[in-house]
Amino acid sequence: MGTRNKHYLWLTALALVGLLWLLTCGKNEQKAVTVSVGGQEVNQVIQQRGLTAQDVYAAVKTYIPTGKHDEYIMFASGGHSGQVLVIGVPSMRLLKVIGVFTPEPWQGWGFSKETREVLAGGNPPGKTLTWGDVHHPGLSETGGDYDGQFLFVNDKANSRVAVIDLRDFETKQIVKNPISLSDHGGTFVTPNTEYVIEGGQYAMPLNGQYASLDQYKEKYRGMITFWKFDRKKGRLVPGQSFALELPPYWQDLSDAGKQVSEGWVFLNSFNTEMATGGVESGNPPFEAGASQRDMDYLHVINLRKAEQLFKAGKTKKINGFNVLPLDVLIKEGVLYFVPEPKSPHGIDVTPDGNYLVVSGKLDPHVTIYNFTKIKQAIEKGQFKEHDPYGVPIIDFDTAMEAQVEVGLGPLHTQFDPNGYAYTSLFLESAVARWTLGGQWTSKHGKEPWTLVDKVSVHYNIGHLAVAEGDNVHPDGKYLVALNKWSIDRFANVGPLLPQNFQLVDIASKDQPMKLLYDMPIGIGEPHYAQIIKADKIKAWEVYPEIGWDPSTQSKHPKAVQAGGEKIVRRGKTVEVFMTAVRSHYTPEHVEVKKGDRVIWHITNIERARDATHGFALPYYNFNLSIEPGETQTIEFVADRAGVYPFYCTEFCSALHLEMAGYFLVKP
């Protein structure tokens, strides 16, 4: 260790001494203090562990003492696990994994009748899907800021959208997009969550029929879907939702306009070459074929106008779903293009709503478009040309406000309250901080549109998330880099490595960004995350009343109170009304005949926080998690005679092992 470092170490140690003195001694008692805990001096620990001043700073910034809570909650995509990860910030402690597209036994997700029905809502006709590829969690917003009520996520693999209610952190609805098998530009919400946006990705015939790749330009199409959200019911309403038919470019990320651009939606695209691949037949592979042109198209969509046209009946039905045809979009002035440099990926609207930040994977710049200029060009009908389908194209120089050279492989951008933008650099494994122009410039007195700082991350960052960093009022303070590779960051766990969420300190507007913490993610490939102030979430501690059905957020018709337990036989159907409380089920014996249909409701009649009971039934493949107040149902045919001990899977009390019973099936 150099003298300089030693010097810093001493300064930090001194600061710690001061801090501990303040904490332990209060204001008036002037006692002499040695900074020791349990007989060990803090300085010694620092020295023994070989920590630098920076390490100590990072530790002090992120450590949350036992019993204390994080300031922020991060909702991160669980990638192809199909789930959502809930993480405390800045501690980076994993708080929960929410079952969404994939059955999850600990939560009983996809085992009870109620949760199976939610999962089945996302099945295409005739198929049962048991996984999803979650990309973009989108929190519900009011006035362009997160309101902590709902979370939406998309499944890129099958074009589905799920709704999670943040009163109990459970998935309430999954909808299957009827016209596509692939989405990416979702989920993002309009500033008051009137619509949840689901942009498509890989073009295909929207009616789901076969068409050969020779007919790509005529028969294949892209799409963007606007799912109407009924906040009171907490559900997407398919009948009030509609899609736009788009040219068969591969649409990518989207974002909703806000403030000045509210009512508009922006959507990137790549493969405007309309390459169809086929490397095995001597064609250029997609990666080359889709990257030939210098420019792709930013889609500028007038959502208000599209909504009017939908309400005026200008849609046609494809697979029973409302779709505004491409020719209508062009004729009525719903869809415009602006050229964007080489294979763009992220599109992010600035907090004031006036600038659109686009990053091209193959261009070291972020390109900033001015919405007001785009709107003026549309109003004046200033179009230089049209695409092959007739969509008007606004001139690049007319729409462009600035370009900032940020580094290699820029992907996604978020914002803070100090007038900075943060862009992830995939190829460079770094985060770039740069100054926004417009109304933001005045706040920091620096030149607008300039790079000011970079921090290395490890490695290959995809998205980044700043606390409330895509809101009208960003919070800043922390940034999480969602890194795709971790290589040497953690103990070797074999060839499949965890990914790495890295926490970065961005609190000071004058100091450089500082890396604080590494969190290995051993599930799925997380893509995007959003970070919300923890106090905005008003989750229940227990369900509001005994006999609650979370799938409807109301009283379960088959719930019973203590004393109301019963077994009712009707012909070959046996219905069980059971309660669970520490530490027994009532009844403890359930006997049926082979071939009977069993409908079995269990109500947890506890009111104590955390008094969850499980319910495992062997052979019949059930596990439930029944939280205090909750009622859950299993339904099956007792197709094999025998004796089946059932038991509670949550260690709920000292007599938890005794919380069991026998399910007997008579031959």
Site string (335-374) toward ligand K7E, x via CB under 6 A: ----------x-----------------------------
Output the smallest distance, CB 75 to ligand CUA, in A: 29
Torsion from C-alpha of 379, 380, 386, 389, nearest 10 degrees: 30
Bin 148: left if φ > 0, else alpha if -120 < ψ < 50, else beta.
Answer: left
Question: Which residues are paired to 198 by β-bridges?
Answer: 225
Answer yes or no whether residue 648 interacts with ligand CUA by CB under 6 A.
Answer: yes
Both tokens of residue 204? 């295909």
Q: Which of residues 642-661 bind ligand K7E (CB under 6 A)?
A: none
Both tokens of residue 158? 């099958």
* One of 613, 617, 620, 631 touching ligand CUA (CB under 6 A): 613
Answer yes or no whether residue 578 interacts with ligand CUA by CB under 6 A.
Answer: no
Output the smallest distance, CB 576 to ligand CUA, in A: 17
Output the smallest distance, CB 482 to ligand K7E, in A: 7
* One of 197, 323, 411, 425 touching ligand K7E (CB under 6 A): 411
Is residue 267 within 8 Å of residue 252, measured between CB atoms? Answer: yes
Answer yes or no whether residue 607 interacts with ligand CUA by CB under 6 A.
Answer: no
Rg of the chain over Cα atoms, rounded to whole angstroms, equals 28
Closer residue to ligand CUA, CB minimum distance, 393 or 576: 576
Is residue 408 within 8 Å of residue 425, measured between CB atoms? Answer: yes
Write down the number of H helices and E strands in the chain. 11, 47
Closer residue to ligand K7E, CB minimum distance, 424 or 551: 424
Closer residue to ligand K7E, CB minimum distance, 365 or 601: 365
Is residue 167 within 8 Å of residue 112, measured between CB atoms? Answer: no
**613 touches, from ligand CUA, ligand K7E, none (C-beta below 5 to 8 Å by class):** ligand CUA
Output the smallest distance, CB 253 to ligand K7E, in A: 6
Output the smallest distance, CB 580 to ligand CUA, in A: 6
Answer yes or no whether residue 444 interacts with ligand CUA by CB under 6 A.
Answer: no
Task: Measure the CA angle with vertex 582, ends 580 and 586; round to 5°.
Answer: 35
Answer yes or no whether residue 630 interacts with ligand CUA by CB under 6 A.
Answer: no
How far apart are the C-alpha atoms of 311 and 213, rounded to whole Å?
34
What is the DSSP secondary-structure string of 553-572? TEE-TT---TT--EEEEETT
Both tokens of residue 541? 């501690």
Is residue 242 within 8 Å of residue 324, measured between CB atoms? Answer: yes
Is residue 77 within 8 Å of residue 136, measured between CB atoms? Answer: yes
SS3 category, 513: coil
Output the smallest distance, CB 528 to ligand K7E, in A: 5
Question: Which residues are paired to 151 by β-bridges?
Answer: 139, 164
* One of 80, 116, 135, 433 touching ligand K7E (CB under 6 A): 135
Percent of residues in the chain assigned helix, strand, coil, to nearest 5: 15, 40, 40
- DSSP letter at 90 equals T
Answer yes or no whether residue 404 interacts with ligand CUA by CB under 6 A.
Answer: no
Binding piece for ligand CUA, criterion CB under 6 A, among 278-286, 406-414, 478-486, 649-657: 649-657
Task: Measure the CA angle with vertex 527, ends 525 and 529; round to 5°.
Answer: 125
**184 touches, from ligand K7E, ligand CUA, none (C-beta below 5 to 8 Å by class):** ligand K7E
* One of 99, 148, 462, 614 touching ligand K7E (CB under 6 A): 462
CA–CA distances in Å: residue 591 to residues 413, 597, 644? 60, 12, 10
SS3 category, 212: coil
**648 touches, from ligand K7E, ligand CUA, none (C-beta below 5 to 8 Å by class):** ligand CUA
In single-letter form, the type of residue at position 554 comes to S
Answer yes or no whether residue 650 interacts with ligand CUA by CB under 6 A.
Answer: yes
Answer yes or no whether residue 656 interacts with ligand CUA by CB under 6 A.
Answer: yes
* One of 430, 652, 661, 665 touching ligand CUA (CB under 6 A): 652
**662 touches, from ligand K7E, ligand CUA, none (C-beta below 5 to 8 Å by class):** none
Closer residue to ligand K7E, CB minimum distance, 184 or 454: 184
Is residue 159 within 8 Å of residue 176, measured between CB atoms? Answer: yes
State the number of binding residues for ligand CUA (CB under 6 A).
8
Closer residue to ligand K7E, CB minimum distance, 323 or 411: 411
Binding piece for ligand CUA, criterion CB under 6 A, among 51-59, 113-121, 374-382, 650-658: 650-658
User: What is the Cβ-side half-sphere exposure of residue 329, based on CA atoms within 13 angstroms?
Assistant: 27
Residues forming the site for ligand CUA (CB under 6 A): 583, 613, 648, 650-652, 656, 659
Residues forming the site for ligand K7E (CB under 6 A): 135-136, 184, 253, 345, 411-412, 462-463, 527-528
